[in-house]
Structure 1
Amino acid sequence: MTLNDKDRHLLALLEQDCRLPNADLAEQVGMSTSACWRRIRAFEDAGLITGYGARLHPEQMGLAFHAIVHVQLTRHDKPALKRFVEVIQTRPEVRDCYATTGSADYHMRVRCPDIDAYNLFLEDFLFTLPAVRSAQTNVILRDLKNR
């Protein structure tokens, strides 16, 4: 799908606030409401828009501890990697997980109620996985940009 300037503007507006009414989106982009609606539907059908959601305030939900965890694996065989990926998917503490290059094999963004809950996550879960060699934690002090 080829995007023009209006498409990029429309997508930026939706990314900023997906609850904007279609009439407001159309006006800001300079399209008719019907053309705007059709364009958004085309973005969805093409897989360019993969979903809509709400941004929640983690601290107000009791998730005050926030960290980036750099995980090194001891084993890289397919069964060990598959198991690691499967179990990471099930953990609500793991908000995001990326396979990366560099000294760590995976980088995870983790949220927990507090440091004690994070310690339990490490001891009772992460360090029990056979493929995990080590984990280095960088505590996030504050969000500077979060999209």
Structure 2
Amino acid sequence: MNIRQFFGHASDLAAIRSMLLRYKAAIDHGDVGIVMACHADHAEISAISLDSVYTGKNQVRQFFENLFSPAVKEDQSKPPTDTHICIHGQTAVLVMLHEMRLLKPEPHILHCRISLTLIREKNEWRILHSHLSASRETFLDVGDARH
């Protein structure tokens, strides 16, 4: 993981890096269980081009199940780049660039900017809020991929 800027304590950086690597591997392999374990109890995810906000464990799970559908995502992605982390007490903010190969509406590379707000919960860093920004065309039909 290429971390370009970091503000905070080294032990927090190591714990956050470990969580991010686990999260990235889960995303790459479509493992919804591990993805969900990386989220805080009241996690919220939003994707600006979906015109929707997914809140709570059930909706976040549904978002990732749709994204991981074989009709949507292919298991080919690169590591996040240009990762910036700022830690303040029990919270942290990360901003990174990421890309993955999507198959719907037609095969293409999704270039996106991901922002994560983390909290220290149950002695672990977890994702409280995530925001993915990409072009509107990128997300057409992702929400109904299983239909």
Q: For this structure pair, what is the TM-score category when the shorter chain's length is used for normalisation?
A: under 0.3
- TM-score scaled to structure 2, two decimals? 0.21
- TM-score scaled to structure 1, two decimals? 0.21
Larger fraction in helix: 1
Larger fraction in strand: 2
Tell which structure's C-alpha radius of gyration is larger. 1
